[in-house]
Amino acid sequence: GNSVTQMEGPVTLSEEAFLTINCTYTATGYPSLFWYVQYPGEGLQLLLKATKADDKGSNKGFEATYRKETTSFHLEKGSVQVSDSAVYFCALSVYNNNDMRFGAGTRLTVKP
Amino acid sequence: DVKVTQSSRYLVKRTGEKVFLECVQDMDHENMFWYRQDPGLGLRLIYFSYDVKMKEKGDIPEGYSVSREKKERFSLILESASTNQTSMYLCASSLKGGYGYTFGSGTRLTVV
């Protein structure tokens, strides 16, 4: 079946540190890959996406590259801010199958 | 701005009550979904719908039912609420083709 595994948290970083949150996937077919972010007390928001191998999704300084050879979609940011504190979810959706699968989520806390 | 609106942010119900959670989207999306979110378990799919009057079970449908009488509205029903249904419930919608979901802000349900 289709599934996503992401690194367990929580992750605590100082402001301006480099962030990596690992995500690997298993899928039949050709999935699209997503990162969602959930700020405290809110629903999930789409952060970035990539729909085919070697695509790079980017938004708000975050980046992730769709690596088919390693079945990975790691989230990175060069310099995190306190406002980036949130829970981050990796997800996949197989084309023509809208049953999106989410990872367990990684809580990020950024300290000043 | 496109929206998925969940009728309540916080809800407290008694064990055995019938509970209705409402979700409305204004994007003319075909697909709608109900998830529950629990610490350490991430998002788990309860039910989804590809069209009006159509429903499909997700991973954890037991104790729940759904209704989709109009394209824009997808209701989750707890037939007889139990304490183990205390959770955050998230509604989402999407176009066909797996291009990402739009989420509501969530309903935090407490069953006492």
Percentage of chain B lying above the pLDDT 70 cut: 96
State the 10-residue block means of pLDDT for chain A, 112 residues long. 89 97 92 93 92 95 97 97 96 76 94 96
Which residues of chain B make contact with A44, given a CB cutoff of 8 A?
Answer: 43, 90, 92, 101, 103
Helix, strand, coil share (%) of chain A residues, nearest 5 = 5, 55, 45
Considering chain B, what is the average pLDDT of its residues? Answer: 92
How far apart are alpha carbons B32 and B68 in whole angstroms? 9
Q: Is the pLDDT of residue B96 over 90?
A: no
Residue among B23, B27, B101 with most chain A CBs within 10 A, to mutate = B101
> How close A14 comes to chain B (CA, Å)?
24
Q: What does the pLDDT average to over B80-108?
A: 90
Phi, psi torsion values for B83, nearest 5 degrees: -65, -30
Q: What are the DSSP E strand ranges found in chain B? A: 4-6, 10-13, 19-21, 23-25, 31-38, 42-49, 56-57, 64-70, 73-78, 87-94, 102-103, 107-111
A52 forms beta bridges with: none
* Confidence category of residue B35, pLDDT binned at 50, 70, 90: very high
Residue A79 tokens, joined: 């310099």
Report the DSSP beta bridge partners of residue B9: none
Q: In this structure, what DSSP letter does residue B89 have?
A: E
Q: Is A42 in a helix, a strand, or coil?
A: coil
Contact A100 B58 (CB under 8 A): no
Q: Which residue of A has its CA nearest to B40?
A: A104
Yes or no, beta carbons of B45 and A45 under 8 Å apart = no
Count of H helices and E strands in chain A? 0, 12
- Say which of B42, B101, B105 has its CB closest to residue A103: B42
β-strand partners of A63:
A58, A76
Q: Does residue A81 contact residue A15 with C-beta atoms inside 8 Å?
A: yes
pLDDT category of residue B72 using cuts at 50, 70 and 90: very high
